[in-house]
Structure 1
């Protein structure tokens, strides 16, 4: 496996492939890691640095022929760099640079070097990603002589860390929000449920995916982690564990179906305000009064002269704009009507000027950044409008959640999204006094600190706590040890406040790692600080599934079959090809395709990578 990147996702992905799947990894990173990597703290930085140093020492000590663990230092993945990394002999290549153009250029080069290579690209532009995926798959099919319609070992998967993490981050900020995984038309919805009251029977839904930690519903409790033991979250528990777990919340699967693309509210997407907002009520009444006066003069002229109403209206408008002949030799009534029309024309000029100025101001406000309204409350304060923040903002607006954004960079890419959605934005450094107050944080429901700097997120959270002690806070923190220290400190200082932490790379790395083995990974949802994967697998070739019943194939804590997919090769209507209430005695045959939930290590065991690696060692 070859991983190329310039930030924390590359290191997290390399560690995932080595530690979970037992794969041989070549990591391509820039030489000056301190300059290109985003700042991280704590154990994650030490582990990543130790992993990289170990690979550097192995490569330099063993020479080019070792190929077991090595690193290639390069600023850009040129053809020479990819050849040195062994792309022509690799099984899969992950291109996770922060720049879309760099990933596309390297993917085109890699596909030429190795048509059988499985490519995984990190692209922020989703529409471009679809076209690139089709182009690279077609190029591989032509180079290998395979039909583009048939599956082959060469495949291209385009993923976005922002799209992977955005639903989880948005759901964490809103109590009771569903966790949704939606990929390639398949939608899986999981809901977090509170512990049942005494005497109340819990609804298991379609399947119980996880038992939350004993302190997950306690504001003072810490978020569960990998090392929490029995007190932490338990993924894919069996029926006995669910019955014995009292006072613990659960995550249950409510829906597995095929659906279309997520809908976005139509309001606020055009950037053009509605017609009623262009003019004030007073100005609209003034225009209506002028129109009424013109109509009255036209009727009076029709009655006085006997002209046709349309001709009378035309003559009145000519008098109104002072472009008609003076009524010198006409009747007194006609002269009076002409004078009244001229006077009305003089009154119309300031009204038209006011209308033009108000319309210009409305369009300018629509194309600019809005300010938070005075009476705003119950909203979400979103800090940071980078790639992640922009996707989270879109997700929150899809849920019709009021949002106020705070961004220090006036050139941030998410500002265009906020302007298009007409979301209020406060420009300024969140660490400066008065910025959070301008975002109405004292009346907010939650604070989402999603900047790329851990210390900035922490400082903003602490300052928000000083303004409002019970504010719900979600921090984007990279390191688990640092997050644990934050929890303990905030728990002692604010025992009744909810604070949670999510890592974008922690959410995205399992999906990228699974994609390097094929198109099996559908998505991932966070369970506190752990990750549960959803995958689609062919039963053939997996002895843990083939020939076994659904009950026998279930392994608690590792994987669980959720549904049988019968849509392969058919054109059924959406939702018609999934059987998700399989009987325990149904035997999985080699021709079946199943959808399952799995832990990271459980999925690695299903793929047989860890056992194969162990068998090859002496």
Structure 2
């Protein structure tokens, strides 16, 4: 496996492939600042990349027990577990030095879309049969690039298996993968919805039953939460394993023994997702409320009612026709009528009142014109948080991740106020288009969070790329509102554990969550490198539970076993069976209505079956390594990721 990247995702992906899937990995990273590129640097060599990778590998060894079962044990054989190659650009020379001619898969996960595209075209030219996994933020461009590279692979390798060809190129976005999970942490409800081949799987977090109550298991229990979730010294914020940490895919014995622990259960599976709110009108068809304030609209209504009342009174007192009375009233209103000399007293009185109403109309018209011009001028500017705003989410950071989370929250109808230091940030035009209030300024400066109405908000999402900035914002927000729901984006697991325990100790009644974008996105990229498509993922604290579709044939852990026998606690669980005919598989089982859920425990899995499983990262890796047909991949539909 060859991984090319310049940020945390590349490091995390290399660790995932080596220490979860047991693959041999070459990591291509940019050279250290101020130094020239070196042709090769082993893991035990000096350098920022090697040191960071070594820390991550050590952490995964502590949390997961080292290499998975069945690995080749290169470390003991004197071979570096990961080869680190330093290259400024993924050029022909650097990719050839990384061994692309012999590689089974290449991941291009630079933070720059253009660099990833150039590298993908080069890699496909050097090896038409290699599996490409590309990180792109632009989803529409990703669809076109995926089709182009697949077509190039088909032309260059006419004998390539159709199933392998369909997975020869996979375009993913870490922002799209992590955004739903990050947005869910800001919502009060514990329900999480993931999309799996057209279906929507709804998982819910259940609190521990009290007073002899029996917990509803739903379709199945996916995970048991940390035994110390409500303890200030608990480990919910970490990725640690053990008795105190979250337990994925527990067995019946573990569920029965887990007294006082919350659980994540799979509730329902539906054909449609949550109803999205109606989009707000903007641009030329924007409503009047976008141009005129409520006070001005009420004033105009009052003047209009006064004119109408005067016209009716004129018609009743003078006996004129209603239209003629209204006409005279408007003339009086605009001071264009003759004085009512010699007219009845009622007519004279109405003329005086109409003139007074006209005096009120003049400033109203001037205010309307000025306000309309001001609104048109500020259409291209950012909104400020309204005075009475409450119950919103304060989103810190409008980079790639923050922008995707903002869009997801608005699709759910959640009010948001953004805080961003850079006025040229990627998400500023998106916030302007969605009419989302934005506070420009450094969150560490006094008064910035107050301007975002943090005291009346429901939660804070600190999603900048700097861990220290996110932590400082969380601490300052908690000083303003101790019971605030806080989600902090933190990369390092040990640092996240320390932060979580400290915040829980200081504010035991408040909800604190920490998430890592690379940790949430890494499993999807790693599974795509192995030739399998991850249908979805549910974060359980700082761990990830994966949903995948695999064929039973070639998997001795599944083939010929019953559903009950195929279940392995903490590794994988069969959730559904695809009974669609083989020719209908390409259209997606959801469209055929061919997924059977709640399988009987005694059902025997046949080699021709295709199943939906829930698996841990190590469980899925073991299934893929144990498969005698691991290169086979199920057909997947082309859709934006």
Alpha-carbon distance in structure 2 between the residues aligned to 1:503 and 1:386: 15
Please give the residue correspondences for 1:484-503 in structure 2 after superposition, counting only pairs within 5 Å: 484-503=497-516
Q: Do structure 1's residue 267 and structure 2's residue 279 form an aligned pair?
A: yes
- Counterpart pick for 1:135 among 134, 138, 148: 148
Is the contact between residue 13 and residue 526 of structure 2 (CA under 8 Å) also seen in structure 1?
yes
Equivalent residue number for residue 229 of structure 2: 216
- Counterpart pick for 1:190 among 200, 203, 225: 203
- Counterpart pick for 1:569 among 575, 578, 583: 583
Q: Do structure 1's residue 91 and structure 2's residue 104 form an aligned pair?
A: yes
Is the contact between residue 564 and residue 595 of structure 1 (CA under 8 Å) also seen in structure 2?
yes
**Total equivalences in the alignment:** 579
Give 3-state SS (helix, strand or coil) of 1:506's partner. Answer: helix
Equivalent residue number for residue 12 of structure 2: 12
Is the contact between residue 13 and residue 512 of structure 1 (CA under 8 Å) also seen in structure 2?
yes
Displacement of 1:291 after TM fit?
9.7
Alpha-carbon distance in structure 1 between the residues aligned to 2:379 and 2:52: 47
- Counterpart pick for 1:48 among 47, 53, 67: 53
Offset from partner CA, 1:210-265 (integer Å, 9 cap, x none): 011112244663316454411211110111211111110000012334447x7643
Of 514-523 and 2-11, deviating more is 514-523
- Counterpart pick for 1:74 among 73, 82, 87: 87
Displacement of 1:453 after TM fit?
0.6
Alpha-carbon distance in structure 1 between the residues aligned to 2:591 and 2:627: 36
Offset from partner CA, 1:500-526 (integer Å, 9 cap, x none): 211111111111101111233112221
Equivalent residue number for residue 25 of structure 2: 25
Q: Do structure 1's residue 285 and structure 2's residue 301 form an aligned pair?
A: yes
Give 3-state SS (helix, strand or coil) of 1:229's partner. Answer: coil
Offset from partner CA, 1:563-602 (integer Å, 9 cap, x none): 1123453367747121011101111111111110111111
Gaps of 5+ in 2: 36-47, 59-78, 339-353, 631-641
Gaps of 5+ in 1: 36-42, 54-65, 328-340, 614-618
Displacement of 1:106 after TM fit?
1.4
Is the contact between residue 224 and residue 261 of structure 2 (CA under 8 Å) also seen in structure 1?
yes
**Does the C-alpha gap of structure 1 residues 458 and 499 become closer, same or farther in structure 2, counting only changes over 3 Å?**
same
Give 3-state SS (helix, strand or coil) of 1:360's partner. Answer: helix
Displacement of 1:105 after TM fit?
1.8
Alpha-carbon distance in structure 1 between the residues aligned to 2:34 and 2:576: 46
Please give the residue correspondences for 1:150-161 in structure 2 after superposition, counting only pairs within 5 Å: 151-152=164-165, 155-161=168-174
**Does the C-alpha gap of structure 1 residues 31 and 373 become closer, same or farther in structure 2, counting only changes over 3 Å?**
same
TM-score (norm 1): 0.82
TM-score (norm 2): 0.79
Please give the residue correspondences for 1:230-245 in structure 2 after superposition, counting only pairs within 5 Å: 230-245=243-258
Please give the residue correspondences for 1:378-393 in structure 2 after superposition, counting only pairs within 5 Å: 378-393=391-406
Is the contact between residue 115 and residue 154 of structure 1 (CA under 8 Å) also seen in structure 2?
no
Alpha-carbon distance in structure 1 between the residues aligned to 2:84 and 2:175: 26
Displacement of 1:277 after TM fit?
4.0
Displacement of 1:445 after TM fit?
1.9
Equivalent residue number for residue 57 of structure 1: none
Alpha-carbon distance in structure 2 between the residues aligned to 1:352 and 1:197: 64
Alpha-carbon distance in structure 1 between the residues aligned to 2:233 and 2:188: 16
Q: Do structure 1's residue 476 and structure 2's residue 489 form an aligned pair?
A: yes
Of 556-565 and 249-258, deviating more is 249-258
Offset from partner CA, 1:128-168 (integer Å, 9 cap, x none): 22222222222222222269976537521111111111111
**Does the C-alpha gap of structure 1 residues 291 and 121 become closer, same or farther in structure 2, counting only changes over 3 Å?**
farther
- Counterpart pick for 1:372 among 368, 385, 398: 385
Give 3-state SS (helix, strand or coil) of 2:583's partner. Answer: coil
Equivalent residue number for residue 614 of structure 2: 597
Equivalent residue number for residue 171 of structure 1: 184
**Does the C-alpha gap of structure 1 residues 294 and 527 become closer, same or farther in structure 2, counting only changes over 3 Å?**
same
Is the contact between residue 218 and residue 265 of structure 2 (CA under 8 Å) also seen in structure 1?
yes
Is the contact between residue 31 and residue 75 of structure 1 (CA under 8 Å) also seen in structure 2?
yes
Of 77-86 and 201-210, deviating more is 77-86
Give 3-state SS (helix, strand or coil) of 1:75's partner. Answer: coil
Alpha-carbon distance in structure 1 between the residues aligned to 2:372 and 2:160: 57
Alpha-carbon distance in structure 2 between the residues aligned to 1:154 and 1:477: 32
Offset from partner CA, 1:476-497 (integer Å, 9 cap, x none): 1111111122123223333333
Alpha-carbon distance in structure 1 between the residues aligned to 2:209 and 2:528: 37
Equivalent residue number for residue 583 of structure 1: 600
Give 3-state SS (helix, strand or coil) of 1:547's partner. Answer: coil
